[in-house]
Structure 1
Amino acid sequence: MSPTKLIKPQFLLYLLLFTICLNGNLYAQSSYELNSGWKCADIGSVKISGYELSKPDFNAKNWMPATVPGTVLTTLLNNKKVPDPFFGMNNEQIPDIYKTGAAYYTYWFIKDFTESPTTKGSQVYLNLRGVNYSCDIFLNGNKLNKTLQKGMFLRFSYNITSFLAKNGANRLAILVYPPDVLGNANGGQGGDGTIARNVGLQYTAGWDWIQPVRDRNTGIWDKVTIQKTGAVRISDTHVITLVPGQRFPDGPQSPANIQVSATLNNAATAPVSGTLRFELDGKTISKTVTLKPSSTQQVNFNDFTLQNPKLWWPNGYGPQNLYNLKVSFVANGNKLSNQQSLKVGVRQLQSEYNEHTGSRQIEVNGQKIFIKGGNWIISDEMMRLSDARYDAEVRFHRDMNLNLIRVWGGAMIERPEFFDACDKYGILVFQDLWGSGDCNGRWMDPMKLDDQWTRRKYPDDHGLFLRSAEDQIKMVRNHASLAIWCGGNEITPPEDILVPLRDSILPRLDNTRWFVDYSNSDAMSHNTLGDNGDGPYGIQPLSVFWEHRTFPFNSEVGSVGLSDYESLKRFIPTSHLSPPVYDEDTHKTKTDEVWDYHKYIGYDTSIARYGKVKNAEDFSNKAQLVNYDQYRGLAEGFTSHMWDWYTGFIIWKTQNPWTAMRGQMYDYYLDPNACLYGLHNGSAPLHIMYNPVNGMVMAANNTFKARRSMMLVVKTFDMTGKDSLITQVFADIGATTTKRYFSIKKTIDEMAAKEGVFLSLQLLDADKKLITENLYWIPDQKGNFSGLQKMKLNDLAIKAKYFKPGQVEVTLDNTQNHSLAFFNRLSLVNADTKTRLLPAFYSDNYVSVLPGERKKVIIDYQPGIAQKDLQVEVSGWNVSKRYLPIDNN
């Protein structure tokens, strides 16, 4: 069954005539979502059957308002029945399902809706896109499912035409049961591991980056829709785009081939003849079809040749062009029975084994793409999913100059709306299926209930796994961004799942993408190092990223990720805002219990290099300097060896579905930290960089265009702002490559010895305009940033103005012969409360301004917010905090 989209009231009249086409999902001719007005009650308080509950005359006045889509825990939170599990240690106050038993979180959900009986063969369907974990469904005193509907990752559709009330007043009642196996949240990775006996979410029993989700996400967690069609309904439309040869983003293109098929279901008791057609690029392709009574038939169109196609490219390599494609079935010559619309990105994915690196390389439209990715868990641990949040999170990944997101196997196949955003922003998707080495038996683990042999057979129902995989593949396979299918995280599925998945299901349903059996398989990245093939995960000397050779396509490598003080205040009680203390003798950290509960990961000695910590605010501010350096260094180190040591890297991880204090470029509330901008810098498509080990000045070009006649300018600045020109030379670099120019190690070491120095690298074009730049702060000979601690305040001149609706331009001017204005954080804030407007998107942040330099930063935010309510906050290492009015001129 095709996924449907939320229909806003102002579009309802329009939708009676036309189909809305938005961002790649499939939409029925007349469809609406049941997303409000639900009520619920726990099973223990309900003494009558679903047959009675689903009759409109049952009085549910005293039932609790329910959040659908959502989970039981979300509903309880929204009704103030439980405290916010994201704040402090509130999660400990919420009963865990393993201790309470399943009945505690087993709930009835009811919904009244208006839909009149149909006429002349029209059909009405009830579609459920996700229920965790099983349910019984009743409508107007009738039970719709003959057997228990089970499967968190299965879409279900019921033809309810014959069950609609004559007066149009309908009552839907759904009894939702928790996962079959609840899992003991004993502190292990996935708790005691038994949560993996379900075909469902593993993180809900807790991990080293999240506390347990107390209801294990029981509920009607995804969209519920009513769909109206004629006798024939279209489902599982499949679009394949073939782009032969090696292409470039610019100029005329040779043709592309488009292959379209669709499944038709005739719900009528009589044969139906009609025309199935699709429309693309102003052309209409038709096929005459006759369907037998109560039958389903797949229809394949002849290949369509698309002339001079506008191609879809990954972020940084070209535009993300998308075509509108509409599929419709017209019965009996002129009656529209059903139609669907989707967005199509025309591109071809390929992969091949790079013998030099010993790893797989990804190619798009015949061009190799150096993968710069981030690992993703889920948008929100309580399944509060939304188009807007997906768009913001994926946009942040675009802003980091990444080109891939890996969806980790302990969560789910992401929703179509997530893939919509990835299509839009050019982010390839590496999609794991359900499983992890932790729960599914790769390692010995005393925290696990079952031995490895038993866990290796998880989940209990292999047939359900395969049916779910088939369904979810059909749901997302049309998205241009989907690039890789993966059997599981750090372990393959059991053999009787892996073999049909690899040899039958994917070849039949989606044969244009690479399938890797598990995330750190030798088929992806040959492991010559003798360990698990992932990591490291904690803070590293920058030299490690540059000089230590790791796995040639590393699926998980990362560092720290503490957000700044404004973020910490959102979820840590004031009484617990005390900084960690690291003991250099014992190498242990004394950490507040709330920080520990939110999975703080240590910064060791790195904070102290910037001076003695005063308080939590000072600690978190200094942590941003470490964050920036760590992730710029990670991106630069891997990129410096692209196509030699590496074909790609994927950071563990770039986002959190809970208020954890590690592995994030922005916090749960969508507030970015310096990790994001370190990556933004270090992963830039054309980037100039400095190897801190051997002093080599290098450039990386992750574009398809060679760059010629550039001027490479190398300068230093001391703590007073005095500059020294080290050298400037003409430079060039080929496409998709790196280049080493010269080493300046001896010079920099001498200049930095006493109190450190700033190193400025710039590339200028033939008109002497800046193309790209990079600024390093080099420590003194003891490895400390002693000079930074002596810098005088800088009265940086800053102005802000409204650039256009939803945009603010901030200009930062530093006076010549003045000190460098170092590491300035910009924030768009509410003028009265001084709280940050979230989300907001910055063209750059944590910016430093050289003496005599002017920089401009563009801030994007949601248009429609009253301008009088906004200000810009600026604060830096040596720039005092101030709030700026925003000029309307």
Structure 2
Amino acid sequence: MNGQSLDQKEKALWAPAPAPFEGPAVTLEPCPGGTLPADGVRVLSLDGAGWEMIDGGTVAERTDPAAVWDGALPARIPNTVHTILYENGVIPDPLFGKNDKLARENSYKTWWFRREFEVDGDFAAPRLCFDGVCYNAVFWLNGHFLGGHIGMFGGPEFPVGGLLKKHNVLIVKVENAPADPRPYSAYADHDEGWKYGVVVNCVYGWHYACIPSRGIWAPVSIRETPRLAAERPLIVTSDYRTGRLTVCIRLAGRGQGRVRIQVKPHNFAGESQHFAALFTARDDATVLRYTFTVNDARLWWPNGYGGQPLYEVVTAVEPQGDLTQVFREVTGIRQVDMQPLPQGPREDLYNWTLTVNGRPLFVKGTNWCTTDALLRFPDGRYDRFLSLAKAQNLQFLRAWGGGMPESDYFYQKCDELGLMVSQEWPTCWDSQKLQPMEALVETARIHTVRLRNHPSLVQWAGGNESAQADGPAMEALARIAFELDGTRPFHRTSPYGGSLHSYSTFWEMEEMDAALNLRAPFIGEFGMASCPNRESVYRYIPEEERHLWDPEAKTAFNYHTPRFNEFRWPENYNDMDHLLRRAEEFGEIRSIDDFIFGTQMAQSTAIRHTLEAARADWPQAAGICYYKLTDVYPACSWSTLDYYGVQKTSYYVLQQAYAPLHAMLVIRSIHAAAAYPVVLLDDNGAAAGKPCEIVVRVFDGALRLLHQEVHAAVPSGAVTAAGEVRLSAGQAAQAPLFLHVRLRVEGVEQDDTFYWQNYREKPGCLKTLPPTSLEAKPCGGGRVEIINTGAVPAAGVLVECPAHDTSFTCDSGMFWLDAGESRIVSVSHTGGLRLSAFNVPPAGC
């Protein structure tokens, strides 16, 4: 090794042109403020109602502006074909039962869209702009052919200055492409066509749902074009220690004028600052660079490390005799770097240590999956999932290549919540070698410029799980990351350069211990599939199936699994075989409720120990992302929040594992060990220099206390070894065996968690514990006291609210309560609560 990292080696190989900020910059000093001009570029939105949609017909019939479309459906745009059909009652809910087949059939038709609109006054060099049409589309305006376009993530744009009238007719033809359907059965399908397009590929049936997207799914508008056009500025934190920013503006065209910049607090009180400069653009491609210092700058930090102060940077580009362009960007002052692991840089390893504002951090992450197969993304849906991500103590979301370049609102919320994002481009399994390169490059260019000012965005990546991750398209994606941004690392794919993906305990059906012993500098994906809660399952299966249990039947319940229970791999195993392999370790499965319990416990067990062990391995382990937080379709899948936004048991278990101040045991097997290392994790120094006690208690299957130890520690860093808990052979042989860990800092309880061991020796033993009882008492202010009113501990206490499960929140779950002990939890709803534990049947209160 020559002291060079893989990052450095690859950048030298790609030899990108300079980044926008790499060049001389004009230093600006504050100047007197004033009212900035309004944006002089007019925009006419064509979104909303007023569209028509119809299938079939000839080009001559459909492109005649005067023709009447008999049988056309009213449509709201943006929307997919399938949503429009569902909203008009043409197809049933595609998420229910096996209705996806009825929706899918409409992916293989030719669809036409029409919008009539009025234009008042003259537009300066108007362009017709589409932000996303899926997938192969052709366009006409007032009977004039404009052109065609492929790719769903932006474009096309057409100059329409000679075509616009007072009354206008826009017609769009969306054709059946890409498509390569390969049915599993009469109702289950997967479509290999995604490999030949640039699409949301997780709706093509390789998992989850097979409803290939079609339609005008993103905004449409008419926009004016200045003669001297400015690209959306890049805002760079040049020095986080002094609050120095650099604003880079790329101009197309020639001319001169003035730039005015206003910087003001966005989500906190403070003074505005103003800056101004004159410019001359002598070339057709000019980059303006201005650097200045923000007074009393507040730094943006990830969740758990500080606040998320945001600034609004308003940049007005005012060319002489031309349209003024005004850009409003909400950003944060922060600097992201990737540093080597402690052993130093290596040519075969990326630099994995994420450093924010000079501080190295362990990355606590998850994988983010596109949240709806029909591409419906209301703000409230993002609010639900992202707020729960923050509450789970997450800091990092891998927006993986099976999905899409995420929305403006997604990134706005991540900025506000302190959730860092790695944005992958929509490629998987080396599909970049088959996908149309022009469409892929267009996607990356459009969305790099759109997203690059978000402080939450910390990494670009070429896509998901590509074995080679090379070729001209990958090289182009890399150069775009450096040439249009340059402030963040670019990784070819995940896993690569020291990261790891593994599903050996699910797909290969290896022992659970294989998951518990995964180790790597960075784990990018691993996990276990589980079933949603009962109320969620009832939303997508027919009523007659609710009390039916037959894992071999062709039911809707069995169909809503990773590969529709039709794909057999390896050997002759279907999805239910894989799920039952783990679920039956927790007891006999005789009902859907048994299956829910078993799969959710398996998911919790397979993930939590690996998360904790990675944290304990810091700084040799730099981070971990479990798979996954969200789902694109309601099914038994790997998410900890189901499609409807309801928390599974695993959500709460992993919330504990990711707690910023956490006492834990290193557990490498589902079978009890003779000794367990005790570790105190303190991400942000909350307990630094303070006397801490870690109390470890051991209970048998009768919930009798077998053993107790107290370990003292005074932490001085993120990870503190606090000794070992040792068990006798007789204690370690108990089935089941529970280990409860409680942390006190200066005598005050700050954290507790519990573990279950030896459950597989007696399947079902977690449900045959001595019973106890629970009671809930409202405390006011959205708080409820949960009391164990019985004579033995309550293990695995859950607080749920079935009537409001899609909006319900509780700040704690899957916890331990000693006999007579109580805990106050904060909840969103205090009425209609359901309490349960391993030894307390679910009951309302």
Instruction: Tell me: CA distance 1:513–1:59, structure 2 relative to 1, closer, same or farther (3 Å).
Output: same
Q: Which moved more, 1:229-238 or 1:371-380?
A: 229-238
Q: Which one of the candidate residues 678, 691, 716 is aligned to 1:697?
A: 678
* Equivalent residue number for residue 90 of structure 1: 99
Retained in 2: the 8 A contact 1:779–1:785? no
Q: Distance in 2 between matches of 1:378 and 1:787?
A: 35
Counting only pairs closer than 5 Å after superposition, residues 67-146 of structure 1 correspond to structure 2 as 67-94=76-103, 96=105, 102=108, 104=109, 106-118=110-122, 125-143=127-145, 145=146
Q: Distance in 1 between matches of 2:433 and 2:767?
A: 56
Counting only pairs closer than 5 Å after superposition, residues 220-235 of structure 1 correspond to structure 2 as 220-227=216-223, 234-235=230-231
Q: Which one of the candidate residues 820, 833, 838 is aligned to 1:852?
A: 820
* Equivalent residue number for residue 771 of structure 2: 792
Deviation at 1:757, TM superposition (A): 4.5
Deviations 1:645-685 (A, max 9, x none): x2222222332101221211111111111121111011111
* Equivalent residue number for residue 809 of structure 2: 841
Counting only pairs closer than 5 Å after superposition, residues 317-332 of structure 1 correspond to structure 2 as 317-330=305-318
Instruction: Tell me: CA distance 1:753–1:355, structure 2 relative to 1, closer, same or farther (3 Å).
Output: closer
Deviation at 1:69, TM superposition (A): 1.4
* Equivalent residue number for residue 182 of structure 1: 179
Q: Distance in 2 between matches of 1:494 and 1:392?
A: 37
* Equivalent residue number for residue 522 of structure 2: 553
* Equivalent residue number for residue 572 of structure 2: none
Q: Distance in 2 between matches of 1:787 and 1:405?
A: 33
1:34 aligns to 2:47 (yes or no): yes
Q: What's the % identity of the aligned pairs?
A: 23
Q: Distance in 2 between matches of 1:127 and 1:793?
A: 64
Deviation at 1:606, TM superposition (A): 4.7
* Equivalent residue number for residue 873 of structure 1: 834
Structure 2 residue ranges without an equivalent (≥5): 1-34, 265-271, 562-574, 668-672
Counting only pairs closer than 5 Å after superposition, residues 321-400 of structure 1 correspond to structure 2 as 321-330=309-318, 337-354=324-341, 356=343, 360-400=352-392
Provide the TM-score with structure 2 as the length reference.
0.83
Instruction: Tell me: CA distance 1:496–1:639, structure 2 relative to 1, closer, same or farther (3 Å).
Output: same
Q: Give secondary structure in 2 for the equivalent of 1:733.
A: coil
Retained in 2: the 8 A contact 1:328–1:336? no
Q: Distance in 2 between matches of 1:506 and 1:612?
A: 52
Deviation at 1:626, TM superposition (A): 3.3
Q: Which moved more, 1:840-849 or 1:275-284?
A: 840-849
Deviation at 1:722, TM superposition (A): 5.7
Q: Distance in 2 between matches of 1:498 and 1:685?
A: 37
Retained in 2: the 8 A contact 1:520–1:555? yes
Q: Distance in 2 between matches of 1:141 and 1:192?
A: 35
**Cα RMSD after superposing both structures:** 3.6
Retained in 2: the 8 A contact 1:129–1:155? yes
Instruction: Tell me: CA distance 1:512–1:218, structure 2 relative to 1, closer, same or farther (3 Å).
Output: same
Retained in 2: the 8 A contact 1:378–1:657? yes
* Equivalent residue number for residue 653 of structure 1: 628
Q: Distance in 1 between matches of 2:173 and 2:832?
A: 49
Q: Distance in 2 between matches of 1:621 and 1:789?
A: 14
Q: Give secondary structure in 1 for the equivalent of 2:77.
A: coil
1:426 aligns to 2:418 (yes or no): yes
Q: Distance in 2 between matches of 1:69 and 1:709?
A: 58
Q: Give secondary structure in 1 for the equivalent of 2:113.
A: strand
1:258 aligns to 2:232 (yes or no): no
Q: Distance in 1 between matches of 2:341 and 2:40?
A: 41
1:288 aligns to 2:278 (yes or no): yes
Q: Give secondary structure in 1 for the equivalent of 2:439.
A: helix
Deviations 1:201-249 (A, max 9, x none): 3333311x22321xx21111112245568776643221111345xxxxx
Q: Distance in 1 between matches of 2:444 and 2:699?
A: 57
Q: Give secondary structure in 1 for the equivalent of 2:215.
A: coil
Q: Which moved more, 1:181-190 or 1:698-707?
A: 181-190
Deviation at 1:422, TM superposition (A): 1.9
> Structure 1: which amino acid aligns with 2:778?
A
Counting only pairs closer than 5 Å after superposition, residues 556-595 of structure 1 correspond to structure 2 as 556-577=525-546, 590=552, 593-595=555-557
Q: Distance in 1 between matches of 2:91 and 2:131?
A: 27
Q: Which moved more, 1:562-571 or 1:312-321?
A: 312-321
Counting only pairs closer than 5 Å after superposition, residues 730-745 of structure 1 correspond to structure 2 as 730-745=712-727
Instruction: Tell me: CA distance 1:781–1:695, structure 2 relative to 1, closer, same or farther (3 Å).
Output: farther
Retained in 2: the 8 A contact 1:19–1:29? no
* Equivalent residue number for residue 459 of structure 2: 484
Q: Give secondary structure in 1 for the equivalent of 2:337.
A: strand
Q: Give secondary structure in 2 for the equivalent of 1:643.
A: coil
Retained in 2: the 8 A contact 1:754–1:780? no
Q: Distance in 2 between matches of 1:787 and 1:665?
A: 21
Q: Give secondary structure in 1 for the equivalent of 2:94.
A: coil
Retained in 1: the 8 A contact 2:300–2:308? yes
Instruction: Tell me: CA distance 1:337–1:791, structure 2 relative to 1, closer, same or farther (3 Å).
Output: same
Instruction: Tell me: CA distance 1:264–1:628, structure 2 relative to 1, closer, same or farther (3 Å).
Output: same
Q: Distance in 1 between matches of 2:304 and 2:522?
A: 19
Instruction: Tell me: CA distance 1:190–1:457, structure 2 relative to 1, closer, same or farther (3 Å).
Output: farther
Deviations 1:720-772 (A, max 9, x none): 766577122432223232424222333xx644645535432111121x22111
Retained in 2: the 8 A contact 1:712–1:730? yes
Deviations 1:606-660 (A, max 9, x none): 544554444222331344333333332232232232323x222222233210122
* Equivalent residue number for residue 453 of structure 1: none
Q: Distance in 2 between matches of 1:787 and 1:151?
A: 51
* Equivalent residue number for residue 262 of structure 2: 279
Q: Which one of the candidate residues 759, 763, 770 is aligned to 2:739?
A: 759
> Structure 2: which amino acid aligns with 1:287?
A
Q: Give secondary structure in 2 for the equivalent of 1:354.
A: coil
> Structure 1: which amino acid aligns with 2:824?
K
> Structure 2: which amino acid aligns with 1:350?
D
Q: Distance in 2 between matches of 1:27 and 1:814?
A: 65
Q: Distance in 2 between matches of 1:18 and 1:80?
A: 48
Deviation at 1:592, TM superposition (A): 5.5
Instruction: Tell me: CA distance 1:591–1:564, structure 2 relative to 1, closer, same or farther (3 Å).
Output: farther
Deviation at 1:773, TM superposition (A): 0.8
> Structure 1: which amino acid aligns with 2:276?
S
Q: Distance in 2 between matches of 1:156 and 1:327?
A: 26
Retained in 2: the 8 A contact 1:631–1:678? no
Counting only pairs closer than 5 Å after superposition, residues 627-706 of structure 1 correspond to structure 2 as 627-644=603-620, 646-692=621-667, 693=673, 694-704=675-685, 706=688
Q: Which one of the candidate residues 298, 304, 308 is aligned to 2:292?
A: 304
Q: Which moved more, 1:356-365 or 1:194-203?
A: 356-365
Retained in 2: the 8 A contact 1:362–1:371? yes
> Structure 2: which amino acid aligns with 1:458?
L
Q: Give secondary structure in 1 for the equivalent of 2:654.
A: helix
Q: Give secondary structure in 1 for the equivalent of 2:231.
A: strand
Structure 1 residue ranges without an equivalent (≥5): 1-16, 21-25, 245-253, 441-455, 582-588, 830-834, 862-866, 885-889
Q: Give secondary structure in 1 for the equivalent of 2:213.
A: coil
Q: Distance in 2 between matches of 1:591 and 1:707?
A: 60
Retained in 2: the 8 A contact 1:132–1:219? yes
Deviation at 1:302, TM superposition (A): 2.0
Instruction: Tell me: CA distance 1:195–1:626, structure 2 relative to 1, closer, same or farther (3 Å).
Output: closer
* Equivalent residue number for residue 405 of structure 1: 397
Q: Distance in 2 between matches of 1:457 and 1:626?
A: 37
> Structure 1: which amino acid aligns with 2:325?
N
Q: Which moved more, 1:394-403 or 1:349-358?
A: 349-358
1:597 aligns to 2:559 (yes or no): yes
* Equivalent residue number for residue 826 of structure 1: 799
* Equivalent residue number for residue 195 of structure 1: 194
Q: Distance in 2 between matches of 1:720 and 1:392?
A: 39
Q: Give secondary structure in 1 for the equivalent of 2:49.
A: coil
Deviation at 1:383, TM superposition (A): 1.2
Q: Distance in 1 between matches of 2:36 and 2:592?
A: 56
Instruction: Tell me: CA distance 1:712–1:163, structure 2 relative to 1, closer, same or farther (3 Å).
Output: same
Deviation at 1:94, TM superposition (A): 4.3
> Structure 2: which amino acid aligns with 1:108?
W
Q: Distance in 2 between matches of 1:326 and 1:625?
A: 50
